[in-house]
Amino acid sequence: MAEAPGPEGPRPILLTVDDDPAVSRAIARDLRRRYAEGFRILRASSGAEALEALREVKLRGERVAAVLSDYRMPQMNGIEFLEQAMDLFPGARRALVTAYADTEAAIQAINVVDVDHYLLKPWDPPEDKLYPVVDSLIETWRALGETTVAETKVVGHRWSAPSHAVRDFLARNSVPYRWFTSDSPEGRRLLEAAGAGDDDVPLVVPPSGTPLKSPGLAELAQAVGLSTEPSGEFYDLVIVGGGPAGLGAAVYGASEGLRTLLAERKATGGQAGTSSRIENYLGFPDGVSGSQLTERARRQATKFGAELLTTRDVVALRAEGSARVVEFSDGSRISAHSVVVATGVSYRRLAAPGVEELTGRGVFYGSAATEGPSCAGSDVYIVGGANSAGQAAVFFSRFADRVVILVRGSGLEASMSHYLVEQLAGIPNVEVRTCTEVVAAHGEDHLERLSLRDSATGEVTEVPASYCFVFIGAAPMTEWLDGLVLRDAAGFVLTGPDLLVDGRRPAGWNEDRDPFHLEASVPGVFVAGDVRSASVKRVASAVGEGAMAVSLVHRYLDRS
């Protein structure tokens, strides 16, 4: 029998899920008989109920040692449940409980969601058929060193841009935190304990207990345990940008033996990481959130040994002999044999009076999912007509009274995927206003009203609004590459065949070959994802280009 953990906080949890009440009671009874002294036994009657329980456990910072789920359940089968449970507790061990006729499902579960074991019903006697499996799950869980999730506390003002920036940073980096407004009883207690006042918010109390007053993101990242410093000075591959293309390159680079480092200035995932639901990504028929996809990719990259740095802003890239030198904003440098540029794009700023002043105080760029619950009872305005805007509208429709999509064109069909257009049409509290643009934002402490212009008639109307989320255009973040690589008129980086003019290679090219397909005008510098000129602006293509870039890096290194 596996030894039960010692007294290090609340007892870890063994969770069982089965929609048959008799079976549910029986397995819980057998588990309590053997493990009640060291573990807390929870049971749920459906996948949805179990996920809700896991979310509450996550918020409380407790540990889950193992999850045992029945396969045949309505609405959500055991494989689908375990796949979502992985995102909440990736370290928990997983077992599928099946009937003999469902052993194929168990094999599928092992391949799809990395299930550790499967159990056949009935498991009588448990000493032979249940307990050895659970003992193995517990032993594996303990060997991997799963620990209590420490809680970070954030105190701030509701309509504060710095407070929003801190919450958004923590959420996008999958750091568990609890939010308190500065005027709440607990918020006031935390401020008083830290010797802080209203001018010191946001106040962050990390697991160490040392309070941070209005911290910068780099200071915050270090305090919550994110990696910010490289372990070495020279790498085989340095990746700049942590969106889908960068994460794809990190996974393939590290898994193929390259010493790989990824530097991201804010949070991995890029724009895709803020998407509430991506429903056309291969292999996820029920959709996947951007944060779930990002967290899985991040775990996968680090499993293979890639270093992932956050809050590292790359400001320059230089070619020094055979080395490619990356310079950070603090003046430090690292070198590599090769570099993959995967900085993606940023949303263009909305050029209208009042918008800049109210950014972070009602006006947000991107989905800002942390604001979802706060939108309850409000009207939400979404500016933009591409997929990211549509996904945000679906997400905020769960909270807001009404979601209004503002589109400059005559419809959504030209810029949004068909499945999203149809989905939006079926949501009763989503409205689409075409030929409409925001010409001004108004408010004192936060957004209160928007001025909208009908481009067909020229009429300007003013509407009450507390929330406006902007998804317009795509601006490449390539200023740091000035003077090094060739870019097109819009700033996207030219690569491969696009660098050849009348068959001639770009000026300064010193190789006896044409540039590889994803290679920039400097040998050894590759480009993947949205930042590349003429790229397909989709998550799947970005991931594919990240993988393809690594294969080209190998070809480059083999010739060097």
Same domain, 463 and 508: no
The encoded tokens of residue 227 equal 């990696």
The crossing angle, in degrees rounded to 10, of helices 21-35 and 131-143 is 60
| Residues 337, 458 share a domain | no
Is residue 127 situated within a structural domain? yes
Q: What is the mean pLDDT of residues 280-303?
A: 87
Residue that has been written with the tokens 């045992």 in this structure: 68
Would residue 47 count as lying in a domain? yes
1 in a domain, yes or no? no
User: Each residue of 466-501: pLDDT tens digit?
Assistant: 999 999 978 898 999 999 999 999 999 999 999 999
Comparison of pLDDT for 276 and 361, the residue scoring more = 361
Taking 80 as the threshold, does the pLDDT of residue 336 lie above it? yes
**DSSP-assigned letter for residue 101:** G
Which pLDDT band holds residue 174 (cuts at 50, 70, 90)? confident
Query: Does the pLDDT value for residue 146 go beyond 70?
Result: no
Q: Looking at the domain assignment, is residue 525 inside a domain?
A: yes
- The mean-pLDDT minimum among 34-48, 139-153, 327-341, 458-472 falls in 139-153
Residues 406, 426: one domain?
A: yes
Q: Look at residue 6 and tell me if it is in a domain.
A: no
Q: 417 and 460: one domain?
A: yes
Gyration radius (Cα) of the chain, Å:
26
Would you place residue 102 in the very low, low, confident or very high pLDDT band (cuts 50, 70, 90)? low
Select from 12, 146, 15 the least CA-distant residue to 78.
Answer: 15
Strand residue runs (E) in 6-59 = 13-17, 40-44
Is a pLDDT exceeding 90 seen at residue 100? no
Helix pair 78-88, 103-113: axis angle to 10 deg: 20
- At residue 453's C-alpha, the angle toward residues 448 and 457, to 5°, is 150
The enclosing H or E element of 330 equals: none
Same domain for 384 and 244, yes or no, is: no
User: 2 in a domain, yes or no?
Assistant: no
Q: Sorting pLDDT into bands at 50, 70 and 90, what band is 78?
A: confident
Whether residues 41 and 136 share a domain: the answer is yes
Query: Same structural domain for residues 507 and 367?
Result: no
pLDDT above 80 (res 151): no
Of 470, 493, 522, the one marking the end of a domain is 470
- Residues 140, 131: contact at Cβ < 8 Å? no
Task: Indicate whether 132 and 18 sit together in one domain.
Answer: yes
- pLDDT computed for residue 391 by the predictor: 92
Same domain, 336 and 300: yes
Q: What is the pLDDT of residues 214-233, one digit of tens each?
A: 999 999 999 999 999 999 99
Contact present, 310 and 228 (Cβ < 8 Å): yes
Whole-number pLDDT of residue 263: 98
Q: What is the mean pLDDT of residues 344-367?
A: 93
Q: Which of 42-56, 107-121, 276-290, 482-496 has the highest mean pLDDT?
A: 482-496
Highest mean pLDDT: which range of 81-90, 207-216, 278-287: 207-216
Query: Which pLDDT score, from 0 to 100, does residue 555 have?
Result: 97
Of 128, 197, 118, residue with least CA distance to 157: 197
- Sort residue 236 into left (φ over 0), alpha (ψ -120 to 50) or beta: alpha
Domain membership of residue 264 (yes or no) is yes
Could you give the dihedral angle defined by the CA atoms of residues 535, 541, 542 and 546, in that order, rounded to the nearest 10 degrees? Answer: -110
Regarding whether 35 and 128 lie in a shared domain, the answer is yes
165 or 113, higher pLDDT: 165
Instruction: Look up the CATH number of the domain holding residue 189.
Output: 3.40.30.10
Q: Where are the alpha helices (DSSP H) in 36-121?
A: 47-59, 78-88, 103-113
- Average pLDDT score over residue span 323-340: 97
Whether 6 shows a pLDDT value over 50: the answer reads no
Q: Which of 143, 165, 194 is the last residue of a domain?
A: 143
43 lies in the same domain as 127 = yes
526: pLDDT strictly greater than 60: yes
Of 177, 200, 223, which marks where a domain is finished?
223
- Measured CA to CA, the distance from residue 515 to residue 495 in angstroms comes to 7
In a domain, 428, yes or no: yes
Structure confidence at residue 278 (pLDDT): 85
Number of folded domains that form the chain: 4
Cβ–Cβ contacts within 10 Å for residue 497, how many? 11
28 and 104 in a single domain? The answer is yes
Largest CA distance in the chain: 79
Query: Mean pLDDT across the chain, nearest whole number?
Result: 90
Per-residue pLDDT, 80: 85
Q: What is the DSSP string of 468-491?
A: EEE----EE--GGGTTTS-B-TTS
Alpha carbon of 187 to those of 157, 177, 190: distances in Å? 10, 14, 5
- The predicted pLDDT at position 239 comes to 98
Q: 152-156 and 93-98 as β-strands: parallel, antiparallel, unpaired? A: unpaired
Determine the structural domain holding residue 185 and report its residue range. 152-223
Give the model confidence (pLDDT) of 251-267 as tens digits: 999 999 999 999 999 99
